[in-house]
């Protein structure tokens, strides 16, 4: 009797084992789909991080370029600005900013002692110098910009 029970137990174990030895096609396809979705998510996330890093690099270079232009205007001084020298737009093609052109556009607002503003130089008062830098954001068609300003007496 013992031999009969033992034979049935061995037969049932081997039947179960042979049914689970390999993977079915459905399991294999499910694993491939899950791995594909994970790989695509990692790729898209990595690309977004790369784009953000590029945008930060360009914005930092633009801010430094605006600051440089503002320092040039400060060095010129109020009397030179009042002398009517033209304030011009400067374009800088910078390979460090992923070959994005940075366009620097200074403007001067003249403030009178009474608080009014003019577009022409005044004999007394002060100048507000605004330095704007703009650029085309790569692969988007959008324009990025930054601006800084100071007062020159």
Q: Map out the domains of the chain as residue ranges.
A: 2-152
- Taking the model in full, what pTM does it have? 0.65
Question: Strands 143-152 and 117-118, how do they pair?
Answer: unpaired
102 close to 96: Cβ distance less than 8 angstroms: no
Separation between Cα atoms, residue 97 and residue 91, nearest integer Å: 13
Return the pLDDT at 97. Answer: 60
Separation between Cα atoms, residue 82 and residue 61, nearest integer Å: 29
More confident residue, 137 or 7: 137
Return the pLDDT at 108. Answer: 85
Nearest in space to 87 (alpha carbons), one of 47, 44, 120 = 120
Residue 123 has pLDDT above 90, yes or no: no
Return the pLDDT at 76. Answer: 78
């Amino acid at each position: 009797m013992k031999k009969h029970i033992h034979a049935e137990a061995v037969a049932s174990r081997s039947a179960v084992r042979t049914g689970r030895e390999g993977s079915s096609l459905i399991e294999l396809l499910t694993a491939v789909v899950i791995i594909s979705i994970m790989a695509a998510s990692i790729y898209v996330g990595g690309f977004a991080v790369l784009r953000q890093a590029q945008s930060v690099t360009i914005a930092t270079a633009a801010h430094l370029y605006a600051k440089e232009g503002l320092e040039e205007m400060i060095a010129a001084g109020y009397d030179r600005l009042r002398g009517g020298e033209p304030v011009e737009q400067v374009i800088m093609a910078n390979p460090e900013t992923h070959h994005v052109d940075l366009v620097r556009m200074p403007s001067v607002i003249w403030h009178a002692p009474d608080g009014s503003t003019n577009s022409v130089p005044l004999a007394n008062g002060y100048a507000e110098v605004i330095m704007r830098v703009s650029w085309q954001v790569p692969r988007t068609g959008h324009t990025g910009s930054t601006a800084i300003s100071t007062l020159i007496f």
